[in-house]
Amino acid sequence: MLCEPPRRRIRFAKEELKGYDTSQVCRILQVSRSGYYRQAKMPESEEIALEKAIIHCFEEHRGNYGRIRIRKQLQTQGIQVSEAKIARILRKNGLKAKSGRKATKRKPRPKEEVYLEENLLQDKFSVAVPNALWCSDVTELKYHGGKLYLCGVLDVATRRIVGWSIGKTQTQTLIQDAFRMAVGRNPQRPESPIFHSDRGCQYTAHRTKELIETYGFRKSMSRPGTPSDNQPIESFWRTLECEIEDIHGLSYQEASLRIAEYIELYYNSSRLHSGIGYHIPNDFFTVLSVHNS
C-alpha cells in the first residue's frame, strides 16, 4: 500500500479504516493530515474532473505547459489547484512538459571595435508602454530542403511579435519586411520609440537605417558579441525552438506556415507569458493600451 500514490492511500483509509484515529492512520500510511482532509472534502467525481482538466490543458498546449502555466490557466477558469498536485497528476499519467532551453552563450567581445550605434538600453528592458521599444533579430531554422531565416520584431512591453518575415537568405530585405509589418500593424506609437538590434550588416545597411528613421524610431544596437543586450528576442528564439512542432521533415512552404501559425495563433494569441505576469501577449497589449490611453 505504501507504494501507491498518496491519493489511493487516502482513499483506502477513508474506505477501510473508518473509526481509527486520523493522526495515527496518516502516520502509518505516510500521508499528510492536510492532504487527507483536503481529499476527504473532495468527491471522487471532482477528482476525476480535475485530472481531466489538467490533462486537457497539457494536451491543448501540446506539452508546452508545465505545472506553473497549467495552474495559471486553470485559475482563469475558476479552478484552484496546487502546483504540487498538478505535478503529481502529470507524473501519474506519464506526461512531461517540453524542456531543453539552452542558456545563451556569451561570445568574447573584440577588444577594439567602433560602435555603429549606441546601446540606448543598457540592459534596461522594463517598459510599460506598447510599441515604445522593439527588439529585433534573425534566427536560422532547418527544414527538409535546407535552412531558412526568420526575422522577428518583438514589442518588449507586451512580448508580442509585432512583425516577422521568412526567407531562404539572410538579407536586409528580410529585416525591412519584418519592420514594415510591425509598423503597418501598429500605427499608434509613442513619440521617438526605440528599435534595438545586434550589429549585423543587414541592420547597419543604409536602406534599413533609413527605413527605421523614416518612421521616427531611434536606433539602438547591442555591444559587439553580447547577445544578452538583446535578451527579450533571444528568449523568444529559445521558446520557439523548444515549443514549435518539428519542421525538419517539412518543405519550405510547410515550414513557413507552421512558423506563422506558432507566432500568430499560439504565441501571440494563446500562450501565457511569464515575463508579463502570465498574461497572453495580445491580451496584455489591450490592457496596457487602455491603461495608457
pLDDT given for residue 117 in this prediction: 63
Q: What is the dihedral of CA 122, 123, 129, 134, to 10 degrees?
A: 90
What does the block give as the cell for 144?
Answer: 527538409
pLDDT given for residue 229 in this prediction: 87
pLDDT given for residue 291 in this prediction: 86
Give me the helices (H) in the chain, please.
6-16, 22-29, 33-41, 44-60, 67-76, 83-92, 172-185, 201-204, 206-214, 231-243, 252-261, 281-292
Distance, CA of 148 to CA of 169 (rounded, Å): 7
Backbone angles phi, psi at 126, to 5 degrees: -90, 110
pLDDT given for residue 111 in this prediction: 41
Specify the pairing of strand 160-167 against strand 194-197. Answer: unpaired
Domains annotated on the chain, with CATH:
6-92 (no CATH), 133-292 (3.30.420.10)
Q: Which residues contact 24 (CB under 8 A, 6 or more apart)?
A: none
In tens digits, the chain (293 residues) has pLDDT values of 566 666 667 667 766 666 677 777 777 777 776 766 666 656 667 788 888 999 999 898 888 889 899 998 888 888 888 898 899 999 988 888 887 544 444 444 444 333 356 666 755 677 889 999 999 999 999 999 899 999 999 999 999 999 999 999 999 999 999 999 999 999 999 999 999 999 999 999 999 999 999 999 999 998 887 888 899 999 999 999 999 989 999 999 999 999 999 999 999 999 999 999 999 999 999 999 988 87
pLDDT given for residue 112 in this prediction: 39
- Residue of 29, 7, 6 whose CA lies nearest to 17: 29
- Asked if 173 and 166 touch (Cβ cutoff 8 Å), the reply is no
- Asked if 154 and 276 touch (Cβ cutoff 8 Å), the reply is no
Distance, CA of 15 to CA of 27 (rounded, Å): 17
Distance, CA of 176 to CA of 256 (rounded, Å): 18
pLDDT given for residue 106 in this prediction: 41
